[in-house]
């Protein structure tokens, strides 16, 4: 059997795959990287990493931090903001999110599904709002968040089967890790049109979420409020559900225009 050297394997990769490997090295836990770290995480030779990073710097996809490390550039954010579906969703949601914030003075979050995770596409917070683990562009597990439970409850059954067939990681002592218990929570969400996460994602914070739908009833997103666990989030359910219904009607009207 002929064994390929590292350089031979590297020569078989396209330039696109190399660039994507560099960009994929960044994450919320690793927002800034040295050249050595970039090479190690991307699996590219240092010389290739240096050349491609220089080109990405020139184009604006990467920037230099004050200490010389690399970070994602504004040019990528600018391009990402052009995503049509999320741009239109966020634009339609802003008035309803602002009204919901004024009614609750708590964190208001808008989330969509991305694979087997929740992706937060917008958020409104105030100085008195509880600190959360989520930021715009952040991700979270479906089973441990109120928005994730809404996505599971109102999506195709195959999604729940795939999530339940994997390990349900525990974030706190309150995280649901049994598929049967999660299924029960999803049945309640479909019945009540709201879902809850009671310190399942982080201690001290609880949330309530409601579905946002298109005119045909297809789930588009989930809208939520996150508050301190000392506050009765169930008392916020009506406000969240009302805002989600209003946003659903707005989206339905845009679709028929």
Q: What is the pTM of this model?
A: 0.73
Contacts 24+ apart (CB under 8 A), 50-56: 52/15, 52/18, 52/19, 52/22, 53/22, 56/19, 56/22, 56/23
User: Cα separation of 245 and 237, whole Å?
Assistant: 12
Tokens matching residue 37 = 């770290």
How confident is the model over 53-84, as pLDDT tens digits? 999 999 999 999 889 999 988 888 777 766 66
Residue with tokens 């201690």: 203
Position 3 pLDDT exceeds 70: no
User: Cα separation of 104 and 210, whole Å?
Assistant: 15
Q: Which pLDDT band, with edges at 50, 70 and 90, does 29 fall under?
A: confident
Residue 213's DSSP bridge partners are 219
Q: Which pLDDT band, with edges at 50, 70 and 90, does 138 fall under?
A: confident
Rounded to the nearest integer, the mean pLDDT of the chain is: 88
Q: Which pLDDT band, with edges at 50, 70 and 90, does 4 fall under?
A: very low
CB atoms within 10 A of CB 10: 14
Position 2 pLDDT exceeds 60: no
**Are 145 and 197 a contacting pair, CB within 8 Å?**
yes
For domain 84-256, the CATH class is alpha beta
Q: Which pLDDT band, with edges at 50, 70 and 90, does 137 fall under?
A: confident
pLDDT value at position 136?
79
CATH of 6-79 given 1.10.287.610, 1.20.140.10, 3.40.50.970, 1.10.10.10: 1.10.10.10
* Domain locations along the chain: 6-79, 84-256
Position 36 pLDDT exceeds 50: yes
Position 244 pLDDT exceeds 90: yes
How confident is the model over 157-201, as pLDDT tens digits? 999 999 999 999 999 999 999 999 999 999 999 999 999 999 999
- Angle of helix 157-164 relative to helix 179-192, nearest 10 degrees, comes to 150
Q: Which of 79, 151, 150 is nearest to 116 (CA)?
A: 151
| Secondary structure (H, E, C), the chain | CCCCCHHHHHHCCCHHHHHHHHHHCCCCCCCEECHHHHHHHHCCCHHHHHHHHHHHHHHCCEEECCCCCEEECHHHHHHHCCCHHHHHHHHHHHHHHHHHHHHHCCEEEEEEEECCEEEEEEEECCCCCCCCCCCCCCEEECCCCHHHHHHHHCCCHHHHHHHHCCCCCCCCCCCCCCHHHHHHHHHHHHHHCCEEEECCCCCCEEEEEEEEECCCCCEEEEEEEEEECCCCHHHHHHHHHHHHHHHHHHHHHHHHC
User: Cα separation of 229 and 170, whole Å?
Assistant: 18
Q: Which pLDDT band, with edges at 50, 70 and 90, does 12 fall under?
A: low
Tell me the average pLDDT across 239-245: 97
Q: Which are the contacts of 10, defined by CB distance < 8 A and separation ≥ 6?
A: 44, 45, 48
Position 152 pLDDT exceeds 50: yes
Tell me the average pLDDT across 241-247: 96
């Amino acid at each position: 059997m002929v064994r390929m050297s590292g350089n031979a394997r590297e020569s078989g990769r396209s330039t696109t795959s190399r660039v994507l490997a560099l960009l994929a090295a960044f994450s919320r836990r690793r927002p800034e990287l040295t050249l050595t770290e970039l090479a190690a995480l991307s699996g590219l030779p240092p010389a290739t990493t240096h050349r491609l990073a220089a080109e990405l710097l020139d184009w604006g996809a990467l920037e230099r931090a004050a200490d010389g490390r690399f970070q994602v550039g504004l040019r990528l954010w600018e391009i990402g903001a052009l995503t049509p579906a999320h741009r239109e969703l966020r634009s339609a949601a802003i008035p309803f999110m602002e009204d919901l914030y004024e009614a609750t003075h708590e964190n208001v979050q808008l989330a969509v599904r991305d694979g087997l995770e929740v992706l937060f596409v917008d958020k409104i917070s105030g100085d008195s709002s509880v600190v959360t683990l989520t930021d715009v562009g952040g991700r979270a597990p479906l089973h441990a968040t109120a928005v994730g439970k809404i996505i599971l409850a109102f999506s195709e059954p195959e999604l729940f089967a795939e999530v339940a067939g994997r390990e349900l990681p525990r974030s706190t002592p309150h995280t649901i890790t049994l598929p049967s218990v999660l299924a029960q929570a999803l049945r309640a969400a479909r019945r009540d049109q709201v879902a809850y996460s009671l310190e399942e994602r982080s201690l001290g914070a609880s949330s309530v979420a409601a579905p946002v739908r298109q005119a045909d009833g297809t789930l588009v997103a989930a809208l939520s409020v996150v508050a301190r666990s000392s506050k009765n989030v169930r008392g916020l359910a009506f406000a969240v559900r009302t805002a989600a219904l209003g946003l659903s009607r707005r989206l339905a009207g845009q679709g028929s225009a």
